[in-house]
């Protein structure tokens, strides 16, 4: 499959490529534009040999999740950027394939393996969900090295070259530490906007509560003994249920929350993604909340956290947008969970093929991004 992709899309000269599978397939006109742009890049870089699949080191395939919202879309962008870099260097060829569902991702794996092409030297995969374990097992059985990214499947993780992911527990711990640093006391009311029902959400919840009870640390430090929470204190933490990583769903949910005036006393809002945090900000900036309730909520100087690195969020943190609203808040913060981590996963595969030592469990440390340090961090759209 990937040979066809290279010959059809790269036209013998493209530096990198992205195939949209399933319902996300591009139109013919879009594909033509992609071919032309890729050809120009390849010719400019002198990578005709790499584009033709003749690189001495062989071929690397990168399978990512669908481009259905900002973070995953940015993963594909960073993956293409890294693939282009590899193709320009000329030792290996690299190809990025995005798929809209798990069954198609498994099909891609089965198709590649069935070809038995010896030029396929490694696969980097961001599994759509846990059902992709069957496909990954086929990669393992075929003796093809693989690197897992973001969604790590426990049943096959020990066979990976490396498992690259952000620190989901660290995101929760970072948010809790930020709240405590700004005055959160044991038993204060906290509202958590959850992403979905996956292990990602469970880990972000766990990191948050574990920091408060003294079981986890952030930035090498644990909560002070006199600020630790008890199990009874944790009953003051309210969870939204799955927001499906959706800004609009969170906006609607927050408007509903403040539809009850008694909820205007919430001061600590932990959103488990920047999209969710932006849903809250848009709700506060819009007309869906009674102005008197909104005024009461903001009078508490609320603190809102997200994570990811979304430019909309960083812009608000910098003070470039929503200036009046943010000025009335206690603070706005985003924990890093950059989609650029896919480039670390791809580099891990290259390093493995080069015979270099690779970290097996490659967890990318997270950092709290505030108005004081936001200029030091790169965002994504």
Name the β-bridge partners of 239.
192
Conformation bin of residue 310: beta by default, left when phi > 0, alpha when psi is -120 to 50: beta
73 shares its domain with 174? no
Q: What percent of the chain has pLDDT over 70?
A: 85
The chain-wide mean pLDDT, for the chain, equals 88
CA quadruple 25, 275, 126, 239: dihedral sign? negative
Segment 40-57 shows an average pLDDT of 48
* Tens digit of each residue's pLDDT (9 = 90 or more) over 304-332: 999 999 999 999 999 999 999 999 999 99
232 shares its domain with 279? yes
From 129, 160, 191, the end of a domain falls on: 160
From 160, 189, 205, the end of a domain falls on: 160
**Is residue 206 assigned to a domain?**
yes
**Is residue 301 assigned to a domain?**
yes
Residue 48 has pLDDT above 50, yes or no: no
- Name the phi and psi angles at 269, rounded to 5: -120, 110
88 shares its domain with 178? no
Q: What percent of the chain has pLDDT over 90?
A: 79
Number of domains in the chain: 2
Q: Which CATH number does the domain housing residue 215 bear? A: 3.40.50.2300
- pTM listed for this prediction: 0.78
**Is residue 83 assigned to a domain?**
yes
Residue 25 has pLDDT above 80, yes or no: no
Residue 373 has pLDDT above 80, yes or no: yes
* Tens digit of each residue's pLDDT (9 = 90 or more) over 148-163: 999 899 999 999 999 9
CA quadruple 83, 86, 92, 93: dihedral sign? positive
**Is residue 141 assigned to a domain?**
yes
Neighbours of 103 (CB within 10 A): 14
Residue 104 has pLDDT above 70, yes or no: yes
* Tens digit of each residue's pLDDT (9 = 90 or more) over 214-224: 999 999 999 99
Nearest partner of 248 among 282, 224, 222, 215, judged by Cα: 282
* Tens digit of each residue's pLDDT (9 = 90 or more) over 255-295: 999 999 999 999 999 999 999 999 999 999 999 999 999 99
**Is residue 266 assigned to a domain?**
yes
85 shares its domain with 21? yes
Residue 5 has pLDDT above 90, yes or no: no
From 110, 137, 160, the end of a domain falls on: 160
**Is residue 291 assigned to a domain?**
yes
262 shares its domain with 230? yes
* Amino acid 211: pLDDT: 98
* Amino acid 230: pLDDT: 98
What does DSSP assign to residue 21? Answer: P
**Is residue 344 assigned to a domain?**
no
6 lies in which domain range?
Answer: 2-160
118 shares its domain with 192? no
Spatial contact of 360 and 152, defined as CB atoms under 8 Å apart? no
Confidence of residue 68 (pLDDT cuts 50, 70, 90): low
* Amino acid 73: pLDDT: 86
What does DSSP assign to residue 217? Answer: -
Using alpha carbons, list the distances in angstroms from residue 117 to 218, 225, 231: 46, 59, 56
* Amino acid 53: pLDDT: 46
258 shares its domain with 121? no
Confidence of residue 381 (pLDDT cuts 50, 70, 90): confident
* Amino acid 69: pLDDT: 66
* Tens digit of each residue's pLDDT (9 = 90 or more) over 178-231: 999 999 999 999 999 999 988 889 999 999 999 999 999 999 999 999 999 999
Residue 46 has pLDDT above 90, yes or no: no
Nearest partner of 128 among 108, 113, 158, 142, judged by Cα: 108
* Amino acid 54: pLDDT: 59
In a 10 Å sphere around its CB, with 0-12 CB exposed, 13-18 middle and 19+ buried, how is residue 209 labelled? buried
């Amino acid at each position: 499959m990937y040979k066809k992709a290279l010959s059809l899309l790269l036209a013998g000269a493209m530096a990198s490529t992205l195939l949209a599978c399933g319902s996300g397939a591009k139109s013919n006109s879009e594909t033509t534009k992609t071919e032309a742009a890729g050809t120009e890049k390849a010719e400019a870089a002198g990578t005709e040999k790499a584009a033709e699949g003749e690189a001495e080191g062989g071929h690397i395939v990168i399978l990512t999740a669908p481009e259905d919202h900002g973070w995953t879309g940015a993963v594909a962008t960073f993956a293409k950027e890294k693939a282009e870099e590899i193709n320009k260097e000329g030792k290996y060829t690299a190809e990025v394939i995005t798929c809209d569902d798990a069954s198609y991702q498994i099909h891609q794996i089965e198709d590649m393996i069935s070809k038995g092409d010896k030029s396929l030297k490694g696969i980097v995969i961001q599994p759509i969900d846990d059902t992709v374990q069957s496909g990954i097992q086929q990669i393992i059985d075929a003796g093809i090295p693989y690197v897992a990214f973001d969604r790590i499947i426990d049943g096959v993780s020990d066979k990976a070259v490396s498992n690259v992911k952000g620190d989901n527990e660290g995101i929760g711990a970072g948010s809790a530490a930020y709240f405590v640093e700004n005055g959160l006391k044991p038993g204060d009311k906290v509202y958590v906007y959850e992403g979905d029902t996956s292990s990602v959400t469970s880990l972000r919840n766990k990191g948050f509560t574990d920091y408060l009870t003294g079981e986890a640390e952030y930035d090498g430090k644990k909560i002070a003994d006199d600020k630790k929470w008890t199990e009874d204190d944790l009953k003051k933490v309210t969870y939204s249920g799955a927001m499906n990583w959706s800004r609009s769903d969170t906006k609607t949910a927050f408007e509903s929350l403040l539809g009850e005036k008694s909820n205007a006393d919430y001061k600590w809002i932990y959103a488990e993604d920047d999209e969710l945090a932006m849903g809250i900000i848009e709700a506060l900036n819009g007309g869906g909340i009674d102005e008197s309730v909104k005024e009461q909520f903001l009078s508490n100087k609320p603190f809102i956290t997200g994570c990811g690195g979304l430019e909309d969020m960083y812009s608000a943190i910098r003070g470039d947008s929503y200036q009046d609203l943010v000025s009335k808040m206690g603070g706005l913060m985003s924990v890093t969970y950059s989609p650029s981590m896919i480039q670390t996963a791809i580099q891990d595969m290259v390093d493995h093929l080069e015979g270099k030592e690779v970290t097996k469990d490659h967890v990318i440390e997270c950092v709290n991004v505030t108005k004081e340090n936001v200029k030091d961090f790169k965002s994504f759209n």
